[in-house]
Amino acid sequence: MLNINYGHNKRLIKECSPLKEYSWLIDRIRTYNVELGIEKATTKAIREMPSYFEIKNFLVLHMSEVADMMLAEDQEINALELVGNAREKKGVEKGIEVFIEDKLEDGISTDIIKSKLCKRFEISEEKANEYINKVLSKTE
């Protein structure tokens, strides 16, 4: 896999003008996306392309399709991030539960477990109590 982000693989990008131009375009879209949103960023970047770029005419002719494609890609990335965050949260919760189970098996008091949870996982005492009670209810 090759990194064709703007400023990377300079030798390859130097040899292929359309790739260099595309890399430039994506870099501008990412920059403008922060304040404009993906559709307006795409339109602005295409309009700002130097006239000598080989891909400019094609992109101008198909600007709405390009903007739609960029929006779809942006939404896909956002969806994947949400799924990843949800999985990470579930993994942390499972890790906390296993931590509690392990400490209970070792005979450690719930007060000490709560203290360790608050310190290691940077959670409130209230949240620590919720986790402890959840684990205790499973073992009863």
Q: For residue 98, what are the contacts with CB-CB under 8 A and spacing of at least 6?
A: none
The pLDDT of residue 133: 93
In a domain, 68, yes or no: no
Domain residue limits at 12? 1-61
Cα separation, 14 vs 95, in Å, equals: 48
Claim to verify: residue 2 and residue 57 sit in the same structural domain: yes
pLDDT per residue of the chain (140 residues) written in tens, 0 to 9:
666 777 777 788 778 888 889 889 999 999 999 999 989 999 999 999 999 999 999 999 998 898 888 888 878 877 888 888 888 888 889 999 999 999 999 999 999 999 999 998 888 999 999 999 999 998 76
Residue-wise DSSP of 6-45: TTSSHHHHHH-HHHHHHHHHHHHHHHHHHHH-HHHHHHHH
Do the domain assignments include residue 107?
Answer: yes
